[in-house]
């Protein structure tokens, strides 16, 4: 009978040690790993946006819209630029002559979304916010 209680006591001590390990070591370590993964994901998103190689939207000024339409139309790369300043979509590819008449309020902000196909910029869409 003494061996029976000794085995039960050893089992209880091992189980308590395991619970202590899970609560004191494993759970905080897991939380730290989740926090590090979240930070790495935010950093990757920021780098992609900085490199302009991401399809997530970003906010730009009205002057930036005009400058980017002129830049891409002068490149003659057939990149489709769609601008919606509140009065409907206007598409620019090789001619940016009417962009100043469309983007008249220079205080407004625009949402810029880039679309890539096989790593190549295909189109840019600007929508007034």
User: What's the pLDDT at 1?
Assistant: 62
Interval 76-123: pLDDT, tens = 677 888 888 777 888 888 887 788 888 888 888 998 888 887 777 888
Is residue 47 over pLDDT 70? Answer: yes
3-state helix, strand, coil in the chain (%, to 5): 50, 25, 25
Contact in structure between 69 and 112 (CB atoms under 8 Å):
no
pLDDT band (50, 70, 90) for residue 53? low
Spans of all domains in the chain: 1-51, 58-128
Measured in degrees and rounded to the nearest 5, phi and psi for residue 89 equal -80, 135
User: What's the pLDDT at 13?
Assistant: 92
User: What's the pLDDT at 36?
Assistant: 92
């Amino acid at each position: 009978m003494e061996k029976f209680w000794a085995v039960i006591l050893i089992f209880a001590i091992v189980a308590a040690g395991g619970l202590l390990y899970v609560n004191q070591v494993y759970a905080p370590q897991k939380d730290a790993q989740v926090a590090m993964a979240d930070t790495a994901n935010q950093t990757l998103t920021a780098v992609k946006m900085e490199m302009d190689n991401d399809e997530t939207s970003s906010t730009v000024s009205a002057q930036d819209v005009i400058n980017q339409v002129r830049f891409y139309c002068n490149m003659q790369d057939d990149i489709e630029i769609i601008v919606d300043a509140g009065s409907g979509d206007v598409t620019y590819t090789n001619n940016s002559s009417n962009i100043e008449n469309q983007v008249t309020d220079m205080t407004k902000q625009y949402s810029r979304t880039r679309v890539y196909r096989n790593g190549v910029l295909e189109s840019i869409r600007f929508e007034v916010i």
